[in-house]
Amino acid sequence: MPSRADSSMAERKRQLVAAELRDAALMLLATKGFDVVTVDDIVAAAGMSRRTFFRYFASKEDVVVRFLADMSADIVAELAARPPAEPPSVALRQALWVPLAACTDRPDHTERARVVVRLILDTTALQARWLEHQIQWRTRLAAELAARRGLDPDADPYPRMAAGMALLAFDTVLQQWRTGDDEQRLAELADRAFAVVAPALDAAST
């Protein structure tokens, strides 16, 4: 029977393999175009087999879908961890900053991440999945906001509207992300976007 250490090591290995495939896929898709890149291209770039790819992903679209799902989990987890008394605009801004911070953790990551974001926003099939995931994000963020404020998300309009405003601010940052923008520039864009919605987010929660 495998030990806990063996199981943990095997899980880390699976995560590393999945990350390598994801990174190879996203960069190929972003640089060559979603419709052009094949699974064979992805596995060749990653130095792996088709069998290994399909062990982790159902299709090249699934790579992007999982990328978006991971972003959602990070955002909701960060919102849940924010101090309860923190103004909603601050808590939401910090929560939605998490995936952006991950994109800019190293200078060489920033432009690659921007290219991937443009791929998602500019490819019709992926844009549809992006919008689909935003609906899911809004539901999860609204539930967390309701829990933080002791509100009924089905009866009170605030949680869903607040989540929607926060996601609109986030989407605005992504749309305005330009070549050469660094972490500081992205932080400025986020601050400006949330400054617009902060009065409504904070006044409605008091």
Q: Average pLDDT of the chain?
A: 88
Residue-wise pLDDT for 72-92, tens only, equals 888 999 999 999 999 999 999
d(CA 52, CA 197): 45
Residue-wise pLDDT for 96-145, tens only, equals 999 888 877 766 678 888 888 888 888 888 888 888 888 999 999 999 99
Architecture label for domain 60-203 = Orthogonal Bundle (1.10)
User: Are residues 48 and 39 in contact, defined by beta-carbon separation less than 8 angstroms?
Assistant: no
- Which whole-number Å values give the CA distances from 70 to 45, 99, 196, 200, 202, in the listed order? 23, 9, 27, 28, 27
CATH fold for domain 1-57? Arc Repressor Mutant, subunit A (1.10.10)
Provide the residue ranges of all domains of the chain, joining segments of one domain with +: 1-57, 60-203
pTM as predicted: 0.82
| Residue 199, pLDDT above cutoff 90 | yes
Residue-wise pLDDT for 16-71, tens only, equals 888 899 889 988 988 888 889 999 999 999 999 999 999 999 999 888 888 888 88
Three-class secondary structure of residue 112 per DSSP = helix
Angle 41-45-47 (CA atoms, 0-180°, nearest 5)?
A: 115
